[in-house]
């Protein structure tokens, strides 16, 4: 599932390509994804309206129109866009075709159909994201005090921190030297501070890598959310820890998600 840096990369590419353009034709090809797709009549409120900007909030993408309406897209597990110069893509997983005033076609694909495409009249309430100007150490400390859940489960809770998913949560906990199954309320003030700094560093590094991957052409296709990131523990079970070089990376299940850690480096 695309996490915050991947969704951010696609949102920036969409904004670069589509800002100032407008939708002239809306063609749903499947009745529903996770929710029913807006039909042609429902989409009339955004047709022929200027796209002011495309941006990310949490793990969602929003197209903002001059009317004040928003097209909300959540990629689910396998969603992606393709921006092409014609409308001839025969892919069976194409669920929505959007023709643009510029003559281009934006298509949405989703093999597993867990994504969401909907039209909103207002943005959802914003939850703090893992950036310095949006998240504070004190906020994390208070959230930890209130929770007996595993710290990895808590920081992945989208109602507490928006956008932090399985990969980056695990990487941040490794960088902070904290076991992912520790009860959140047991973390010391120093550990909370290390975790805060680690989350910001991990996300910032991945966001930067994603933006660099767009250059120079800002292509939009199934590969836009796939770019190289440096990971220390994710999917490295059995390999020697890159930090201590003494212990192999292990894997446990936390909340139905695979979690990777070094028993020597994380306490």
Residue 59 falls in the annotated catalytic set? yes
Q: In the numeric block, which tokens belong to residue 251?
A: 């894997």
Strands (E) in 144-219, as ranges, are: none
Express each pLDDT in 78-116 by its tens digit: 999 999 998 877 778 999 999 999 999 999 999 999 999
Q: pLDDT-based confidence at 169, cuts 50/70/90? A: very high
Residue 92 falls in the annotated catalytic set? no
Express each pLDDT in 221-265 by its tens digit: 999 999 999 999 999 999 999 999 999 999 999 989 999 999 999
> In this structure, are residues 75 and 7 in contact, taking their beta carbons and an 8 Å threshold?
yes
> In this structure, are residues 114 and 34 in contact, taking their beta carbons and an 8 Å threshold?
yes
CATH assignment of 137-261, given 1.10.8.50, 1.10.3720.10, 3.40.50.2300, 1.20.1440.20? 1.10.8.50
Q: In the numeric block, which tokens belong to residue 69?
A: 């309406």
Catalytic residue chosen out of the listed positions 3, 6, 129, 171:
3
Strand partners for 99: 25, 105
Q: Kindly state the DSSP code that residue 187 receives in the 8-state scheme.
A: -
Catalytic residue chosen out of the listed positions 94, 104, 257, 263:
257
What does the alpha-carbon distance between residue 40 and residue 240 come to, in Å, rounded to a whole number?
Answer: 55
Residue 149 falls in the annotated catalytic set? no
Catalytic residue chosen out of the listed positions 59, 152, 182, 194:
59
> In this structure, are residues 38 and 117 in contact, taking their beta carbons and an 8 Å threshold?
yes
The kind and range of the H/E element at 16 are helix 4-18
Is the pTM value of this prediction over 0.85? yes
pLDDT at 95: 95
| Residue ranges of domains in the chain | 4-120, 137-261
CATH assignment of 4-120, given 3.40.50.1000, 2.60.40.10, 3.20.190.10, 3.40.50.2300? 3.20.190.10
Mean pLDDT of 30-55: 94
Q: Kindly state the DSSP code that residue 170 receives in the 8-state scheme.
A: H
Catalytic residue chosen out of the listed positions 2, 5, 28, 180:
2
Residue 171 falls in the annotated catalytic set? no
Phi first, then psi, for residue 61 (nearest 5°) are: -115, 135
């Amino acid at each position: 599932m695309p996490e915050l840096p991947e969704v951010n990369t696609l949102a920036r590419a969409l904004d670069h390509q589509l800002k100032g353009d407008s939708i002239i034709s809306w063609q749903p090809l499947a009745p529903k994804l996770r929710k029913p797709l807006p039909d042609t009549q429902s989409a009339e409120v955004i047709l022929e309206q200027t796209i002011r900007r495309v941006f990310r909030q949490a793990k969602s993408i929003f197209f903002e129109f001059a009317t004040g309406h928003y097209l909300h897209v959540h990629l689910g597990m396998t969603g992606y866009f393709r921006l092409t110069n014609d409308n001839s893509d025969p892919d069976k997983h194409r669920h929505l075709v959007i023709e643009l005033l510029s003559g281009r076609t934006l298509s949405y694909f989703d093999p597993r159909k867990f994504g969401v495409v909907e039209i909103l009249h207002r943005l959802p309430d914003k939850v703090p994201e893992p950036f310095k100007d949006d998240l504070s150490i004190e906020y994390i400390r208070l959230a930890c005090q209130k929770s007996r859940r595993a710290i990895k489960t808590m920081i992945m809770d989208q109602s507490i921190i928006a956008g932090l998913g399985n990969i980056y949560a695990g990487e941040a906990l490794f960088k902070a030297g904290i076991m992912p199954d520790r009860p959140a309320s047991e973390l010391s003030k120093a550990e909370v501070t290390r975790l805060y700094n680690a989350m910001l560093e991990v996300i910032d590094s991945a966001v930067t890598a994603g933006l660099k991957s767009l250059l120079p052409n800002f292509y939009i296709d199934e590969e836009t959310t796939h770019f190289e990131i440096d990971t220390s523990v994710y999917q490295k079970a059995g390999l020697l820890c890159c930090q201590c070089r003494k212990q192999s990376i292990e894997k446990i299940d936390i909340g139905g998600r695979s979690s990777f850690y070094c028993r020597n480096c994380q306490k």
